[in-house]
A = this chain, B = another copy of it.
Amino acid sequence: MITREQYEEARDLALEYFESADIAITDEEKERIEVADFGLSDLKNTGLELLVYVNTTRCCAKELVLFPGQTCPEHKHPDVEGEPGKEETFRCRSGEVYLYVPGKKTSNPKAKAPKGREKYYTVWHEIILKPGEQYTLTPDTLHWFQAGSEGAIVSEFSTKSRDEADIFTDPDIARMTKVK
């Protein structure tokens, strides 16, 4: 849960990120920026700010903002109703982002799992994305990511987004954020 004040603070900071990266958004879009705390009430460490540009039955595009050290927790996108799960490409627009996927564990990874939730971070193969770099994830692949010390903006290009179908490793996570 986040308070109305926390929501507005995070939204306004996300708007500053867009502005300093020269990403134009409309007034209507400014009003519908989402702030997700994933139900852990620790937005600074586990959280994400996002703007969905388009999400049809066939494809989706979003802009994600992560504040310094903020983490989008480990999850995957399973098949839904006989359709293959969400396929997504993350493209770093500004800052630096550390993405973790299954594979050989990276020694001395750049990111740290959020405190107290370490056991719910199980994939440690690191991909570093700097501005202009991107990575495409196949469906049903565990992943999580964290921004570097300057925060990050990441464009996400994907098939239909169904957040409610996501499976998180951490059982305490609820994708839908409550604003008090």
Contact = CB atoms under 8 A, between A and B. Distances in A.
Interface string A126-159: 0000111110100000000000000000010111
A133 B136 CA distance: 26
Contacts of A93: 23-24
Contacts of A155: 61
Nearest to A138: B56
Contacts of A53: 89, 91, 134, 157
Q: How many copies does the complex hold?
A: 2
A61 to B, nearest CB: 4
Given A23-B93, A56-B87, A58-B84, 11 more contacts: A21-B22, A24-B93, A24-B131, A25-B132, A53-B89, A53-B91, A58-B59, A59-B60, A59-B157, A61-B61, A61-B157
State the 9 A-B residue pairs at the shortest beta-carbon distance, nearest first. A24-B131, A24-B132, A61-B157, A22-B22, A54-B89, A59-B59, A26-B132, A25-B132, A58-B159
24 contacts: A22-B22, A23-B93, A24-B94, A24-B130, A24-B131, A24-B132, A26-B133, A29-B132, A53-B89, A53-B91, A53-B157, A54-B89, A54-B134, A54-B157, A56-B87, A56-B136, A58-B159, A59-B60, A59-B87, A59-B158, A59-B159, A60-B157, A61-B61, A61-B155
